[in-house]
Every structure is written in structure tokens, then in C-alpha cells.
Amino acid sequence: MIAFPPQTQTAISFAADLFRQSKHAVCLTGAGLSTPSGIPDFRSTGTGLWSRDEPMEVASLNTFRTAPENFFGWFRPLANQIYNAQPNSAHYSLAELEKAGRIHSIVTQKIDMLHQKAGSQFVIELHGTMQTLTCTQCYHKEQTSFHLDSFVEDGKIPHCSNCGGTLKPDVILFGEQLPQAAWFKAQHEARQCDLMLVVGSSLEVLPVAGLPMQALDHGAHLVIVNNMQTYLNIRADVVISEDAAEVIPAIAEKVLNG
Ligand SMILES: [Zn+2]
């Protein structure tokens, strides 16, 4: 076990108490949860690979449509890195909490499939997933794994096996709307929950950043585990500003084993 400062220990115990009292806990996760798994948060500046280009520009729907080779050139090193990343202890602990009936769902801004790899079942992906690609002409869906090697090794832009159209990764690009079904589910979860745990999201991107506010407005408790300041820290029951990969397992341990 990690020796946390006394103040953090108290906060962890308090968060665990809230989980034990909760009947419907929802976890909202962002890119910060996967940085210990080696995936840089591309919205933060100075995080290696992601900051070489301007993501708002190159990872936009507009670039994808007008200059797909620029988009895919930027996406190529990331695709391999993200696709092959492994969950960290925070992902595994969240999956355990769900298995034990302590977490109802995970709403995520991540596209890296690490919650599913860790064993989580009910995951609502607001920014899409790296798992699949969709044809921009005929909407045929294909598995990323089928195209990944030739794309990563030779830089070949993936094309539809059905009609030859360009395949677009099923991740939500800048300038693109959130997937409607996922967004409705996420809002439902935010309004139903009695506890929301925010992990690794700086809550800067709308409309996702508004979900914890919806939860608060419906009387839920709010726990924030984050290295970054968020606009809702002031309204949270507990804020723990430490590494999620250390804090989440410590909370889960207390919830599950007392
Ligand atoms: Zn097609």
C-alpha cells in the first residue's frame, strides 16, 4: 500500500464511505486516467507526440474531409500506441467496483478501450472508440485490428472492403457532434446517479463537462480525483489531487474490504 499524507487518507476514506452509501454510482473518466498507461493527453500542451501538431486543426472533421492524408499522418503513431496500450491499476479497480455492484456505469471521454480491456461492462463512450472504423461512403463498419498493421507499417490509408471508400476511425473529431445514443445514455446516468466520481478529466470540454453539474442538480454527491483544477472542485464533497492510478485502487480497497 502507498503511504498517502494523512489528509489524503482521510479524503480516500470519505470517498469510500460515499461509495458504500451509494445505490447508483457513476464514474466519469477522461484522458488523465490513461496517462499512466502511456497515452498522452493530447489536449494538454507539451505532452510529447500529441503536441507536435495542433490537434484542434489536424484532428478535426474538416481536415479529415479535405486532407485525409494529413489526418492519417498525424494519427498513425498514435493509433499503434493507443491500440496496444494496457490498462493501469485504476482501470482494473473501477472494473472490480462494477463487478461488486458498487459502480453502475462508466461514462468516458477516452477512446482507448482500456476500460473494456480491464473488464468493465457498462461503458458509455462519448468520444467514440479506436475499436472500429466506418466507411465514409457506405457506412460499412470494420474492425481496426484488420487494418492496423498495414496502416502503421506502410502508412496505407484504410479503405472499405465493401466499396473502396475511405474508412474513418470511430473517434469523435473536433468539429464533430457527440454520438447521440451515447450522449442520451450519459445524461440519463448523470441524472439518475446519487454519486458521481470524476477521474482524470479537467472538465474543460462541453458538453461533457456539464454532466457532473447535472448530477449535482439532482442531489448526487461528487468526488473528484484529478491532478488538474476543475471548475467544480468548489462544489465537490471530496477532491483528491493525486495520481489516479494510486488513489482509485486505495478507494476500491476500502470500499470492497472495509
Ligand atoms: Zn464502403
Measure 136 CA to ligand 1 centroid, in angstroms.
7
Measure 167 CA to ligand 1 centroid, in angstroms.
8
Q: Reply yes or no on whether the pLDDT at 68 is more than 60.
A: yes
127 is catalytic: yes
Contacts of 115 (CB under 8 A, 6+ apart): 29, 87, 91, 94, 95, 106, 108, 123
Measure 168 CA to ligand 1 centroid, in angstroms.
10
Residues whose Cβ atom is located within 5 A of ion ligand 1? 135, 137-138, 140, 160, 162-163, 165
Measure 109 CA to ligand 1 centroid, in angstroms.
27
Measure 44 CA to ligand 1 centroid, in angstroms.
35
Q: Reply yes or no on whether the pLDDT at 136 is more than 90.
A: yes
Average pLDDT over every residue of 109-117: 95
Q: Are strands 195-199 and 221-225 parallel, antiparallel or unpaired?
A: parallel
- What's residue 2's pLDDT? 75
- 124 closest CA partner among 98, 85, 162: 98
d(CA 90, CA 139): 35
- What's residue 58's pLDDT? 86
Measure 137 CA to ligand 1 centroid, in angstroms.
5
- What's residue 121's pLDDT? 98
Average pLDDT over every residue of 129-151: 94
Q: Reply yes or no on whether the pLDDT at 153 is more than 50.
A: yes
Residue-level length of the chain = 258
> In angstroms, how far is the first alpha carbon of the chain from the final one?
14
Q: Reply yes or no on whether the pLDDT at 43 is more than 60.
A: no
Residue of 104, 115, 127, 221 with catalytic role: 127
pLDDT > 70: what percent of the chain? 94
d(CA 212, CA 244): 18
